[in-house]
Amino acid sequence: MIKKVSILWMLFLLGCSLFGCQASEYPRRLDETNTLYVGSVASSFPVSFMPWLSREGVAPTIASMLYSTLFSYDEDTGQFVSLLAKEWYYVDEDGQAIVDESGKIDYDRLEEIYGTSSKTYLPVKIILNKGITWSDGEAFTAEDVYYTFDIGTNNALSNHAGALAWTSDLQHTHRNGVLTKQGIFTYHHGASQQGYFIEEEDADYVLYLHVNKVLGAVTTLFTTILILPEHIWKPIVSVNNQLNSKDPSVDSLHQYKNPVGCGPFLLDVARSNAQVITLQRRVDYHITDDEGGPLYKVDTIKLLLYQELNVAIYALLKGHIDVLDASVSSNYMSLFDQREDLFLSNAEGTFAQTLVLNINPVALEKTPIRNVLANIDFRKALALAVNQDELINRVLNQSGRVMSNGLMRESLVDFFNPTADTLPTNVEERLTLANQLLDTHYPNKDDQGYRMLGESRMTFHILGTPGEQEVISYLQIQFQKIGIEVKYQAKGSSPEKTFLYTSKFDMTIQGVTFSISNVDIMYMAHFVTMGTSSNYGRLANSVLTSKINEMRTTLNLNRKYELIYELQPMIADLYYKIPLYSSNVLSVARIDRYTGYVSVAGSTVFNSESLQNITRVG
The span from the CA of 147 to the CA of 223, in Å, is: 17
E strands, 366-447, where?
400-401
Spatial separation of the C-alpha atoms in residues 298 and 304, rounded to whole Å: 16
Task: Spell out a b/e string for 292-320, using b for 16 or more CB atoms within 10 Å of the CB, else e.
Answer: eebebbbebbbbbbbeebbbbbbbbbeeb
Query: Taking a C-beta distance cutoff of 8 angstroms, is the pair 490, 469 a contact?
Result: no
Q: Please state, for a pLDDT cut of 70, what percent of the chain lies above it.
A: 95
- CA 599 to CA 606: how far, in whole Å? 9
What is the tens place of the pLDDT at every residue in 300-322? Answer: 999 999 999 999 999 999 999 99
Give the 3-state DSSP-derived string for 343-354, with helices as H, strands as E and coil as C.
EEEEECCCCEEE
| Residue 582, phi then psi, degrees to nearest 5 | -115, 115
- The domain 26-64+263-348+590-616 having CATH identifier 3.40.190.10: the answer here is yes
CA 436 to chain centre: 39
Beta strands at 265-267 and 352-357: parallel, antiparallel or unpaired: unpaired
The CATH number of domain 352-583 is 3.10.20.30 = no
Distance CA 257, CA 48 (A): 5
pLDDT attached to residue 42: 87
pLDDT of residue 174: 96
Look at residue 482 in the predicted model and tell me its pLDDT: 98
* pTM for this prediction: 0.88
Distance CA 256, CA 333 (A): 39
Compute CA distances 157 → 219, 244, 246, 466, 523, whole Å. 24, 8, 13, 37, 29
pLDDT of residue 54: 62
Alpha carbon distance 585, 333 (integer Å): 12
Secondary structure class of 500 (helix, strand, coil): helix
Instruction: Quote the radius of gyration of the chain (alpha carbons, Å).
Output: 26
pLDDT value at residue 32: 87
Q: In CATH terms, are 68-233 and 352-583 the same topology? A: no
When the candidates are 3.40.50.1110, 3.40.640.10, 3.40.50.300, 3.90.76.10, the CATH number that belongs to 68-233 is: 3.90.76.10
Annotated domain spans of the chain: 26-64+263-348+590-616, 68-233, 352-583
What is each CA distance from 338 to 7, 31, 341, 342, in whole angstroms? 16, 26, 9, 9
Measure the N-to-C terminal CA separation of the chain; round to a whole number of Å: 38
DSSP string of 85-131, one letter each residue: EEEEEEB-TTS-B-B-TTSSB-HHHHHHHHSS-S-SEEEEEEEEPSS
Grouped pLDDT means (10 residues each) for the chain, 618 residues: 43 44 58 94 87 74 94 87 97 92 92 92 97 97 98 94 89 95 97 95 98 93 96 96 91 94 96 95 96 96 94 93 90 83 92 96 96 98 98 92 95 91 96 98 96 96 93 97 98 90 97 91 95 94 97 94 97 98 94 96 94 93
Read off the pLDDT of residues 482-527 as tens digits, 9 standing for 90 and up: 999 999 999 988 899 899 999 999 999 999 999 888 999 999 999 9
